[in-house]
Amino acid sequence: MNNTLDYFVPKVEGKRVTFSRGTRDTFNSQVSNEVAIVNAATLEEPTERESFQLHKNLSTYRVNRAPKVPVFDRASIQAPTSTSKIISFWEGYVNAVYQDQGYFSATLIDLKQADFNSESEREPDHQAEFDIAEVSEFDRDLIVPGAVFYWSITYITSVSRQINTNSDIRFRRLPLWTKFELDAAHASSESLAKLFGI
């Protein structure tokens, strides 16, 4: 079975490489429509005169840059550069926001992962106050009463074995209402309104 789908001509523009559809015979001639964009950082010294193949291998695709290393090397993408250990992990609910004083109060529920070295139990719920400045700028508009966030404290051991402590607050981006759900809610409210003669 021939799994080769096509050949692609790369065009290097700074850090981006654009691949255009070609064929084995013509990949160095006319460039046609763009079909893929690859981050040049994942390539090794790309040049415009090299050909690429897109292979279909079961359910995964792989761009090969024969005879050099494949462009997609999941091992290289996922290779851990450091290890982390969660010290504490909480789910928080915002109770009140005090913008003027720059903080918010929250209830925290322990989400600590299983500790395989001890029989530690989950902590009881806590009340806590957080500086708004501790939250990433792009999450600050999500700090409203009732909002849910995750707070973790992690030991991160770098490749050079240096240990750092990291506090991470991440606000939950709640699922959006779909049109179907909104329509259903609207229909339900209309029938209730009729029922009560409103």
Q: Which residues bind other proteins (CB under 8 A)?
A: 5, 35-39, 41-42, 54, 56, 59-61, 63, 71-72, 77-78, 80, 84, 86, 89, 91, 111, 113-114, 116, 136-139, 150, 152, 154, 168, 170, 172-178, 180
CB of 193 to other proteins, least distance (A): 26
Cβ closest to other proteins, residue 13 vs residue 98:
13
14 and 41 Cβ atoms separated by less than 8 Å? no
CA 126 to chain centre: 29
Cβ closest to other proteins, residue 89 vs residue 93:
89
CB of 79 to other proteins, least distance (A): 10
Cβ closest to other proteins, residue 97 vs residue 142:
142
Distance from C-alpha of 43 to C-alpha of 71, rounded to nearest angstrom: 6
Q: What are the φ/ψ torsions at residue 185 (nearest 5 degrees)?
A: -65, -40
CB of 195 to other proteins, least distance (A): 28
42 and 53 Cβ atoms separated by less than 8 Å? no
Q: Tell me which residue of 31, 27, 79 sits closest to 54, measured CA to CA.
A: 27
* DSSP bridge partners of 152: 89, 168
CB of 80 to other proteins, least distance (A): 6
Cβ closest to other proteins, residue 104 vs residue 151:
151
Cβ closest to other proteins, residue 180 vs residue 196:
180
Output the DSSP codes for 81-150: SEEEEEEEEEEEEEEEEETTTTEEEEEEEE-PPP-TTS-PPPPPPEEEEEEGGGS-GGGGGG--TT-EEE
CB of 57 to other proteins, least distance (A): 10
